[in-house]
Structure 1
Amino acid sequence: MALNQRKAAVVGCGFVGSASAFALMESGLFSEMVLIDVNREKAEGEALDISHGLPFAKPMQIYAGDYRDAEDAAVVVVTAGAGQKPGETRLDLVNKNIAIFKSIIPEIVKFNREGILLVVANPVDILTYVAAKLSGFPKNRVFGSGTVLDTARLKYLLGEHLGIDSRSVHAFIIGEHGDSEIAAWSSANVSGIPLNAFCEMRGHFDHDKAMKEIAESVKNSAYEIIEKKGATYYGIAMSVRRICEAIIRDEKSILPISSIQNGDFGIDDVALSMPAIVGRDGVEGAVPIRLSEDEKAALQASAKTLKKVLDTAF
């Protein structure tokens, strides 16, 4: 069946799935969206609740369905999985969520072999790799939300630190979406001005201390939010919307999504986040950013951490 470029499927209607569905409805990108959940009533309730706001938005059909209803979806957003509990790392979720993916991915693939699989469930890098292997899809059509949200957190905090619009900050978090992630300070800039030079313009001179504090804040953001309110979902929902915009509008945007690496920086056969060109065909190419020797070493260590988990769990 031909894909409907105006249709999305969201698999999993927990906090992240329902917030993502809401963000996608507000985006106006899609004219049809199916919500799929093991608890059919939950999916029906979310679809109804979001539908009731349609008089204030763009026309759209939103409904609960099953995997067959996803057969012509251009993008299948997979948020299903156990959530991260207070005190739990993303990697602690591995075995539970790999088991869930072993039941979900074959069901999606049974009906839809042409769409893009966007993995959002955690640990996103491990599950992106698992989804790619279980689906048999080409690498460009299976990728994870990766460090798109971490990067947004970094830009937000740098914007606050410097008293400027966070959209003028150009910087990436790379590697694992988790404890071994790396802030790629070497390539960070503010509208083309090297970060340290811009910091000094704004009266900040203790670069090492500020970089360390901001990187730690980014890394611990999710833990802090989970501690305070039990789950994180608005930030990731807006990240899902942003990635879907790049796909559906064929924007060729550069986003730090998680995809299986092909040898860059000596990293192969593991999914992690690096900046990539994202468009209608999914991942259209890697963007080789400048990294210091320390950053390269940290990226390779991040890959090793993920590989070790994959070797024992999958």
Structure 2
Amino acid sequence: MVNDKDVAVIDRKAANNDSKVAVNDRKVAIVGCGFVGSSSAFALMQSGLFSEMVLIDVDRARAEGEALDISHGSPFAAPMRIYAGDYADAADAAIIVITAGAAQKPGETRLDLAQKNVAIFREIVPRIRETGFDGILLIVSNPVDVLTYAAVKLSGLPESRVVGSGTVLDTARLQEALGAHLGVDPRDVEAYIIGEHGDSELAVWSSADVAGVPLKDFCEMRGHFDHEEAEARIAEEVRSAAYEIIRRKRATYYGIAMSVRRLCQAIMRDEKSVLPVSALMVGEYGLSDVAISMPTIVGRQGIECRVPISLDEAELEELRSSADRLKGVLQQV
């Protein structure tokens, strides 16, 4: 887990920097200008949610280049000031999106990234805290559950204002796959991926439905009767989707960029949307001291509450197993 000594050091720094910076609701900052960060910046530029965006990267020239490139499209979107900056420039942002970290390599699991990316977060998050930032931290870097937990411990922000992108993209992949399987609009599919954003994630089949019709009933209405085979196949397709994309093009970024846009929209418009984000568990489903993805009401203050969806006994056991796996990684890093 994050070392208590590190947290103590950060707490002492915070004691000398109690003043919080007023939040600018029209400003967003992105830390990390790799494929995911730059794609997220591009998606947010077109969203109309913000009028100012600062890009921060250890490679200042890269941040400047991305800012210039994206800003040249401003005449085709809502007015926005886009520029490269440093952590002080992000102090008054409503949301800071952290995408920085080592990239996932072919054959490498998300959890393999934990050791090196927690080390990177030990550098990034305290620098954000020292500015007096009082907005919402949106964690996108992988492994997102481990890094969301680390950000909670390192940031000093209320737990509700540290949000991980979690299984939002995995859930979108599941909905898209089910929509294709059934020949319906994926937006009418109500089904979630929960647990770790990674190999131990699980699809919640027991409470899934399409337009209010239980999933199995809808499948049979569309001529599909081999439920177990189809569920296993689709779940595996979703679980391995990132690996397949990485094998073909070395990185995934468009899908997660759209997820970042969706999350920022839910927050800034105070939509109270139910999204499977990663956040610290405090006793729900018997889980605590671990960040994991469950359907959650997300609004302007970040996380409002978990939604107690129904899980059958097998799903609950899988969820707890996924949480135990994450706790094992936290203990190692």
What interval of TM-score do these two structures reach, taking the shorter chain for normalisation? over 0.9
- Asked if residue 142 in structure 1 is aligned to residue 166 in structure 2, the reply is no
Q: Which runs of 5+ in 1 are unaligned?
A: none
Report the secondary structure of 1:185's partner residue: coil
- Could you tell me how far apart the structure 2 residues matched to 1:229 and 1:301 are? 32
- Does structure 1 residue 105 correspond to structure 2 residue 125? yes
Amino acid at match of 2:73: G
Report the residue type matching 1:113 in the other structure.
F
Alignment counterpart, residue 194 of structure 1, candidates 214, 219, 226:
214
Aligned partner (choices 139, 147, 161) of residue 119 of structure 1: 139
Q: Is the 8 A contact 1:70 1:112 kept in 2?
A: no
Q: Secondary structure at the match of 1:257?
A: strand
1:208 corresponds in structure 2 to 228
Question: Residues 69-103 of structure 1, C-alpha deviation per residue, up to 9 Å, x if partnerless?
Answer: 00100000000000100000000001110010000
Query: Structure 2: which 5+ runs fail to align?
Result: 1-20
Deviation digits for residues 44-92 of structure 1 (CA, Å, limit 9, x no counterpart) = 0000000000110000000000000001000000000001000000000
Q: 1:175 is matched by which residue type in structure 2?
A: G
Normalised by the size of structure 1, how large is the TM-score?
0.99
Identity within the alignment, %:
67
Counterparts of 1:113 and 1:4 in 2: how far apart (Å)? 11
State the one-letter code of the partner of 1:224: E
C-alpha distance in structure 1 between counterparts of 2:310 and 2:134, whole Å: 34
CA contact (8 A) 2:168 2:277 kept: yes
Contact preservation (8 Å) 1:90, 1:178:
yes
Match for residue 277 of structure 2? 257
Partner residue of 1:26? 46
Per-residue displacement from partner, 1:188-214 (whole Å, max 9, x unpaired)?
100110000000010000000000000
TM-score, with structure 2 as normaliser: 0.93
Please tell me the root mean square deviation across aligned C-alpha atoms, in Å. 0.5
For residues 118-140 of structure 1, the C-alpha deviation after alignment (integer angstroms, 9 at most, x for no partner) is 00000000000000000121110
C-alpha distance in 1 between matches for 2:157 and 2:290: 16
2: distance between equivalents of 1:273 and 1:205? 30
Matching of residues 151-230 of structure 1 within 5 Å: 151-230=171-250
Q: Which amino acid aligns with 1:78?
A: I
Task: Tell me the amino acid that sits aligned with residue 309 of structure 2.
Answer: I
- Give the secondary-structure state (helix, strand or coil) at the position aligned to 2:105: coil
Q: Counterpart of 2:8?
A: none
**1:15 lines up with 2:47 in the alignment:** no
Residue 5 of structure 1 and its aligned partner are, at CA, apart by 0.7
Q: Which amino acid aligns with 2:304?
A: E
Instruction: Tell me how far apart the structure 2 counterparts of residues 18 and 309 of structure 1 sit (CA, whole Å).
Output: 29
Question: What is the distance in 2 between the residues matched to 1:116 and 1:28?
Answer: 18
Aligned residues: 313
- What is residue 299 of structure 2 aligned with on the other side? 279
Please state whether the residue corresponding to 2:291 is helix, strand or coil.
strand
Misfit runs of 4+, over 4 Å: none
The answer as to whether partners of 1:73 and 1:112 remain within 8 angstroms in 2 is no
Residue 92 of structure 1 corresponds to: 112
Alignment of 1:292-307 (within 5 A): 292-307=312-327
Q: Confirm or deny: 8 A CA contact 1:119 1:142 kept in the other structure.
A: yes
Is contact 2:90–2:133 with CA below 8 Å preserved after alignment? no
Residues 212-266 of structure 1 show CA distances to partners (whole Å, capped at 9, x for unaligned) of 0000000000000000000000000000000000000000000000000011111
